[in-house]
Amino acid sequence: MDSISWRLKRTYKCGELRSKDAGKEVILNGWVHSIRKVGRVIFILLRDRSGIVQVVVTPKSQAFPAAKELDREFVIAVKGEVRLRPKNQVNPDMPTGEIEVAAHEIEVLNESKPLPLPIWDESLMSTTSEANRLRYRYLDLRREKVKNNILLRAKVVKAMRDFYTSKGFIEVETPYLGRSTPEGARDFLVPSRLHPRKFYALTQSPQLFKQLLMVAGLEKYFQVARCFRDEDPRADRQPEFTQFDMEISFVTREDVMSVVEESMKYVFREVLNIDLPTPFPRFTYEEAIERFGTDKPDLRFPSELHTLLEDGRLYLRYFKMKGLGKMCGTLQSKLKEAAKNFSLKGYGFRAVDLGSKECSEAMGVLPEDVKGVELEEGEGVVFAYGDFATASQFLGVLRNALGREAGIVKRNQYSFVWVTDFPLFEVDEETGRLISKHHPFTSPRPEDIPLLDKEPLKVKALSYDLVLNGYEVAGGSIRIHKRWLQEKMFSLMGLSKEEMIDRYGFLLEALEFGAPPHGGIAFGLDRLVAVMAGEDSIRDVIAFPKNKEMADPMTGSPAEAPPEYLKDLTWLKLT
Ligand code: ASP
């Protein structure tokens, strides 16, 4: 019978052996990454988490009969002697490439069926469907690249924990089964068996709990928190994601921003050995829209937006960018695609390829003035004609997207920028009501309080977003710590007194028992790690992500509930 006991426990890890270990007797445990025969000699690449090492089995070795039976991804133990490879067999691309292990003994710890995923070949993997990768995620995670992303993530979390702990922050866990915390999304509801007709809401963020920890006097808090938001599927959205969440008492906005900068400096040095220049550049929301057309400017490229013409309510705006000359073939389709989401009077581009060949295209109405913009070889210009906000935002989308493709950003280039002073409110397109741009616990700037009643849309918030390479990686604010102001905020958003008390009575009450001034921020950990790993999708840095339909093909989640559970929920009328 197939035994579950085994003898050869490892004394070394595969990836740590070097030429100085030559002559040592070692035992390794790991997976057969690949196996090949050269003449009668068998070469095995043996892999564990630390890396890969070559094992050689000659026909004379006692291990030979076992080696002949091996296949990919068998789990084995190898006992053998480390020896230097012959000069002509040294592999400079492998950290263990100067040595190999001559096997004396092989013990098979477990076999593997033929793999449903070609994890041994990256070029085959690139054509494998994501559905299959997620269905066998535990195999996908064996790939070097995917494994490294998970290791990077662990390093980032550790560095964050180390940094904030060293600054006197304490880690506190807050409930996941909570009551609605409005972060602008739908709640995931969990029906309560013990309280008929009642539901828990999975927390969208620890926002209210962390504020209450400040009222409790804990002063400096952090948490690696899972957040749940039941939103419609969109590219790269996950129904659960992780925040590195923090909050501090007795601080101004400057204090929060400076500790965040220090923490990023620490993390990038520890994890990537990169020295980030601080302080990070800062723009107000208005400035960011005016100069870059977006509140998430990618500052790895310098192009700024300019106004060429202003007639009445119409603006002709543009940006120039190096590298666009090479993109003549695709510029038209990219502009057309982006324009679908904006109602502009006109838009267009002109670009000069090397050798001074020009390409251009104008769509809709574009004033003659566009001809006046001078271009150098290789450069291009994109125009938009419409109202200020629409023209700017259209250009902002293209600036970020084209900049990434124009071959003008360096690898490992990281560009942080703060965007501050967001409007406190925006108008909900469906209801026409005021809604908070960040969340309703964000403090207005003190100087704007007189505007709250008369011109609420002009009120700016004491808020700040941290943007990295065009992605928002953190967002936070100074909070409201007085009951009257919190009530005012709710009532401007259309909540009646009763609704306020029902939903947020506990918060309003707490604000009356000595709530200190406080503020904080939350990092989107998945996005931060994805940018650091050079990955476009956060799914690549999450061990077990959901697919684009918000489902998990491996476990089959979501799934129907077992009938015996539903019996306890008879009040829940299922149609
Ligand atoms: N709770 C906020 C969010 O999830 C972050 C914060 O204000 O600290 O975006």
CATH number of the domain bearing residue 81: 2.40.50.140
Q: Note the pLDDT of residue 238.
A: 95
Lining ligand 1 with CB less than 6 A are 183, 205, 207, 439, 475-477, 520-522
Please state the atom number of ligand 1 nearest to the C-alpha of residue 477. Answer: 7
Q: What is the CATH number of the domain that holds 192?
A: 3.30.930.10
Please indicate, yes or no, whether residues 242 and 207 belong to a single structural domain of this protein. yes
Site to probe by mutation for ligand 1, drawn from 181, 212, 220, 245 as the one with most ligand atoms within 8 Å of Cβ, is 245
Residue 296 alpha carbon to ligand 1 centre in Å: 17
Structurally, the chain folds into a number of domains equal to: 3
> Cα separations (Å) of 399 from 240, 322, 471?
30, 11, 13
Domain boundary among 82, 110, 138: 110
DSSP three-state, residue 319? strand
The 8-class DSSP code of residue 218 comes to: -
Please state the atom number of ligand 1 nearest to the C-alpha of residue 206. Answer: 1
CA pair distance 167, 179, nearest whole angstrom? 31
Residue 205 alpha carbon to ligand 1 centre in Å: 7
Please name which of 183, 173, 243 lies closest in space to residue 210, comparing C-alpha atoms. 173
Please indicate, yes or no, whether residues 270 and 323 belong to a single structural domain of this protein. no
Site to probe by mutation for ligand 1, drawn from 169, 183, 518 as the one with most ligand atoms within 8 Å of Cβ, is 183
Please indicate, yes or no, whether residues 260 and 370 belong to a single structural domain of this protein. no
Please indicate, yes or no, whether residues 154 and 239 belong to a single structural domain of this protein. yes
Does residue 575 form part of some domain? no
pLDDT digit string, tens, across residues 200-259: 999 999 999 999 999 999 999 999 999 999 998 888 899 999 999 999 999 999 999 999
Residue 203 alpha carbon to ligand 1 centre in Å: 12
Does residue 94 form part of some domain? yes
Residue 469 alpha carbon to ligand 1 centre in Å: 20
Quick one: three-class SS letters along 403-466? HHHCCCCCCCCCCEEEEECCECEEECCCCCCEEECCCCCECECHHHCCHHHHCHHHCEECEEEE
Give the closest residue (by CA) to ligand 1 atom 9.
Answer: 475
Rounded to 10 deg, the angle between the 525-533 and 253-272 helix axes is: 40
pLDDT digit string, tens, across residues 261-275: 999 999 999 999 999
> Cα separations (Å) of 569 from 321, 364, 563?
60, 58, 10
Please indicate, yes or no, whether residues 43 and 105 belong to a single structural domain of this protein. yes
Are residues 229 and 183 in contact, defined by beta-carbon separation less than 8 angstroms? Answer: yes
**Cis peptide preceding 206, ω within 30 of 0:** no
Please state the atom number of ligand 1 nearest to the C-alpha of residue 227. Answer: 4
Residue 174 alpha carbon to ligand 1 centre in Å: 14
Please indicate, yes or no, whether residues 351 and 453 belong to a single structural domain of this protein. no
Give the closest residue (by CA) to ligand 1 atom 8.
Answer: 521
Q: What is the CATH number of the domain that holds 363?
A: 3.30.1360
Does residue 468 form part of some domain? yes
> Cα separations (Å) of 87 from 97, 164, 500?
11, 49, 77
Question: β-strands 282-284, 416-420: how paired?
Answer: parallel
Are residues 248 and 515 in contact, defined by beta-carbon separation less than 8 angstroms? Answer: no
pLDDT digit string, tens, across residues 380-424: 999 999 999 999 999 999 999 999 998 889 888 999 999 999 999
Residue with tokens 């906005």: 253
Give the closest residue (by CA) to ligand 1 atom 1.
Answer: 207
> Cα separations (Å) of 43 from 12, 33, 57, 198?
19, 11, 6, 62
| Parts of the chain with a pLDDT under 50 | none
Please indicate, yes or no, whether residues 69 and 104 belong to a single structural domain of this protein. yes
Residue 19 alpha carbon to ligand 1 centre in Å: 51
Please indicate, yes or no, whether residues 401 and 428 belong to a single structural domain of this protein. no
Please indicate, yes or no, whether residues 332 and 405 belong to a single structural domain of this protein. yes
Does residue 152 form part of some domain? yes
Domain boundary among 409, 438, 460: 409
Q: Note the pLDDT of residue 470.
A: 96
Other CB atoms within 10 Å distance of the CB of residue 447: 9
Please state the atom number of ligand 1 nearest to the C-alpha of residue 207. Answer: 1
Does residue 117 form part of some domain? no
Q: Look up the domain containing 21 and give its range.
A: 14-110
Residue 168 alpha carbon to ligand 1 centre in Å: 21
Does residue 131 form part of some domain? no
Domain boundary among 391, 409, 427: 409
Residue 183 alpha carbon to ligand 1 centre in Å: 7
Ramachandran category for residue 41: left, alpha or beta (phi over 0 → left; psi -120 to 50 → alpha): beta
Helix ranges (DSSP H) in 273-379 = 285-292, 328-339
* Residues 6+ positions from 518 with CB-CB distance below 8 Å: 211, 214, 247, 248, 249, 250, 251, 478, 479, 481
Does residue 175 form part of some domain? yes
Does residue 550 form part of some domain? no
Tokens of 256: 């929060």
Strand partners, 100: 83
